[in-house]
């Protein structure tokens, strides 16, 4: 396994490319906005999914501008 210390823009671009190829990305969480489920320093594994399969409570990696953020799905419209 390769470990990289990326700047935010590099991490976003690299993660998007890896996920687009159908592979998973693992990274260390920063911040505490997802506490108590995910804490700063926890390892997070994300994998590509079909958005139509998302359900309330799922945790997703989303892009907001140039940033990637981890969020919990609070509602899903089909």
Cβ 28 vs Cβ 15: under 8 Å: no
pLDDT per residue over 20-63, tens digit each?
Answer: 999 999 999 988 888 888 999 999 999 999 988 898 988 899 88
The separation between CA 78 and the C-alpha centre of its own chain, rounded to angstroms, equals 22
Cβ 58 vs Cβ 51: under 8 Å: no
Cβ 26 vs Cβ 48: under 8 Å: no
Radius of gyration of the chain (CA): 13
Indicate yes or no: pTM above 0.95. Answer: no
Q: How confident is the model at residue 1 (pLDDT cuts 50, 70, 90)?
A: low
Interatomic CA distance for residues 73 and 75, integer angstroms:
6
């Amino acid at each position: 396994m390769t470990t990289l210390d990326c700047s935010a823009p590099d991490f976003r671009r690299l993660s998007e490319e890896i996920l687009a190829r159908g592979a998973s990305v693992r990274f260390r969480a920063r911040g505490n906005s997802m506490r108590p489920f995910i804490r700063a320093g926890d390892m997070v594994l994300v994998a590509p999914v079909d958005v139509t399969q998302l359900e309330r409570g799922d945790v997703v990696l989303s892009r907001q501008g140039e940033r990637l953020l981890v969020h919990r799905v609070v509602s899903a419209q089909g």
